[in-house]
Chain A
């Protein structure tokens, strides 16, 4: 299988190429060289991940492109990487978002450009590492390492209250990580002193242990997602972060919480996952509706998109914990979709902010007449975000809801209300920003998107339409792996006490 590139450690290359790039940046002084080098690194990474998808064998759930090396024998810690139909999507998403981030920061970052690009590339490595890791210890290392560059991106290049937001982000995530670490250690001992994730999935643990580990993991992941009521760091972080920071946060970092549930909680702690499923469904539905209501009340573009993220990630967690194949596939697809559309929305907020230096919706109006290309794409992503049929999110939402309606009709019905809210706040935002009369005379001289910006926008737009009309390749990619995951997650060993 996939012989041509098995001979080279492609996953390691994809993961560490950005870090090598970051190291190389240290020796470059010229700003435009820095930008171009970063862009080239991201482009190569993106091409490699496309190549990875092409040579991926969709007929098996077995981890592919595995790389396993002993690392710290004393604790049975290994350097183990591999991809299956689930995480390969996120490897690709991460590299794509990286490309967009570099282009989005091209002019937005005015000071300490080199340091910024280094942080950007470093975080790229850590994110890719989280998605590829097959060793729990390695997973945790990458998971934690991600915090530092993100903390810097918000804290150094952020807006007015950047330090407050950065610390809030850091403390929240750190609190979650501590519990996560405790959970990992418990699993290590309960699972026969190994960090091998695949082995840990095969074992079965006493229900009591599962419950405690699940709760520890839950807090860690729920903060990352973020699920209600752990979401309060998100709006601050998003609003203060520079555009690229917001894109990274929304596009990839939020997916990590959900990925944690997928990769760790569901297969390793199946009984506890089933036991707590209803609680998570309830929290998801609250997030969907509450996030939607909050978004409805916002006058700040970035806050609106940030709160919409909470609502949309609720759909993802809803899909993950319904325990049927449609909802699970829908949830995973929705993770990918959210990565595309919300990144795009943050990019668009960033683009217009660069030109006008205001994010207040009331300062806009009539952009359609001034910058038609910008507004057309903006409309596309707004519609995608509200899951209009024919766009990517609709497919995800349809699958999640169809799955949820099979088993949990009430939660599904409540989620539909959230879908309506998303139509309300997104359409009203678009109406106020793009249509109507031009009220702000300062807007009249702004420029439409340029070629560089189009390079960032078009790939995202392609995926919106592609997944919206022809999602089969993506479903095929993950189907076998998801089936296997569902099998693992549906294991019932021993009676589940209620």
Chain B
């Protein structure tokens, strides 16, 4: 396997970070500022994309900065798993940037500069985490991501959003300060380094199984961004954030960072062999199966659209972890591809929720009947997103779910096959009626409860698509379809994750 040294991974991170500074500097000039956001997103995507051919052909890109402590380095290493995460984040940032501009302007939101600056840094952190060469670098970016998204969560600065922000920070920081710190310190104590290795770093070391199990549990709990129950509470709480944040960060960057870290731990810290011999894989599978089912049930009971999407995310994230810990070849591929397919589908759904809110100030599922006729593009995209969530061809969700299901058979764990199927049924139950009612039921003229606008305006007939908001969600819906038709980019990368 050839290894190339180039500064590009660092550049990708720096571009986003620099963009934040430029955005802050252009505080007063909204158009230029938003152009800077878009430009940075594009440049960032191009840099990430320029590394793709190397990775696809089996190469690895490295860029070491310096040694932090004996056995610990600060550095970047682009491998297939990181490439999957980075391509998704950087590609969707362009779309999300466009969407945010439309969303924030149509709502005339305050503190837009802070919003866009934090947004850019969040992506910097996500890309940095994706390209992190070792655990130390990874957690540095992991924590930056937790902190920089906090202002985005409390953005509205109402009592409710402060409360949500508090929960967000308490869960993310509390878990990482307790469990992650312990896990990292233990790993460093046991192995003397914090590297990733293809067969795991513990494989050569004679540590007691009990200790390794504790380390593993600490990792799983510490990376609470993966939202495994009971560490999922921050995610619904984070829904107080403006919708673009929920879309890109709490459906893509932040939660995928959590899942990505868990995958790193499973694949490259513990390694499949050790996971199997300690029995951790199956144990985790049971835990995440519980999360899959419970979160789906929660989702069915939510009337708030964003909360429903949030619980759906909790459930879908556990799909990814389930696929990884089953340790069967297909399930692992399915897990990695599901990162992509869930990202494209869920960001579409959130964009739709935001579009509905911008156009009508409605946030509840019970207020949506009939809205499809006013917002046809939005609800059509919503439909495609739902299909992908359920796993119906020709969407990306079908591809990943197919691999996951084949994986459960390969692993001879049919119980988890049942979990996946049952959860798909649940997905259908809580997503499909929304689209159906939107198109085929009569509109109810309900005012949204906490709308900012006076009653008359909400009830007025002036509900229509906002172009700058509608275009991005159509793009992501098409991406979702494209992934179903042409999944080879992510499939190839996924198959290279574990040689």
A binding-site residues for B, Cβ under 8 Å: 326, 383, 386-390, 395, 397-399, 401-406, 409, 412-413, 416-417, 419-420, 422-424, 427, 431, 435-437, 469-472, 475
Contacts and interface: CB of A to CB of B under 8 A. Distances in A.
B174 interface: yes
B68 interface: yes
A402 B69 CA distance: 12
B140 A399 contact: no
Given A416-B185, A471-B68, 8 more contacts: A326-B189, A397-B181, A402-B188, A420-B174, A420-B178, A436-B157, A470-B68, A475-B70
Interface of B: 66-70, 74, 136, 139-140, 142-144, 147, 154, 157, 162, 166, 169-170, 173-174, 177-178, 181-182, 184-186, 188-190, 211
A469 B170 CA distance: 25
Contacts, number: 85
Contact of B69 (A390, A417, A431, A471): A471
B154 A395 contact: no
Contacts of A386: 177
Contacts of B66: 470, 472
Nearest to B139: A389
Given A389-B139, A431-B166, A472-B66, A423 B154 contact: no
A471 B181 CA distance: 18
Given A389-B139, A401-B182, A469 B68 contact: yes
B174 A402 contact: no
14 contacts: A387-B181, A388-B143, A398-B181, A404-B185, A405-B189, A405-B190, A423-B174, A424-B174, A435-B154, A436-B157, A436-B162, A470-B66, A470-B74, A471-B68
A389 B69 contact: no
B177 A395 contact: no
Contacts of A406: 189
Contacts of B190: 405
A388 B173 CA distance: 9
Contacts of B144: 390
Contacts of A419: 177-178, 181
A245 to B, nearest CB: 31
Nearest to B157: A437
Contacts of B70: 475
Contact of A383 (B139, B147, B162): B147
A417 B211 CA distance: 18
Given A390-B144, A419-B178, A405 B185 contact: yes
Contact of B182 (A416, A422, A435): A416
A282 to B, nearest CB: 19
Contacts of A403: 189
Contacts of B174: 420, 423-424
Contacts of A471: 68-69
Contacts of A423: 173-174, 177
Contact of A398 (B74, B170, B185): B185
A38 to B, nearest CB: 37
Contacts of B166: 431
B185 A402 contact: yes
Given A424-B174, A427-B173, A401 B68 contact: no
Q: Which of B157, B173, B211 has the most CB of A within 10 A?
A: B173
Nearest to B211: A409
A427 B169 contact: yes
A317 B194 CA distance: 25
A361 to B, nearest CB: 15
A325 to B, nearest CB: 10
Contact of A395 (B69, B142, B147): B69
Nearest to A405: B189
A405 B186 contact: yes
Contacts of B177: 386-387, 416, 419-420, 422-423
A365 B185 CA distance: 35
A45 to B, nearest CB: 30
Contacts of B169: 427, 431
Nearest to B67: A472
B23 to A, nearest CB: 15
B189 A413 contact: no
A3 B143 CA distance: 46
A406 B185 CA distance: 10
A45 B282 CA distance: 62
B189 A416 contact: no
A383 B148 CA distance: 12
Contacts of A470: 66, 68, 74
A183 B195 CA distance: 47
Contacts of A424: 170, 174
Contacts of B170: 424
Contacts of B143: 388-390
Contacts of B184: 398
Query: 4 tightest A-B contacts by CB?
Result: A401-B185, A402-B188, A405-B189, A402-B189
Nearest to B135: A389
A395 B74 CA distance: 13
Contacts of A422: 177
B210 to A, nearest CB: 11
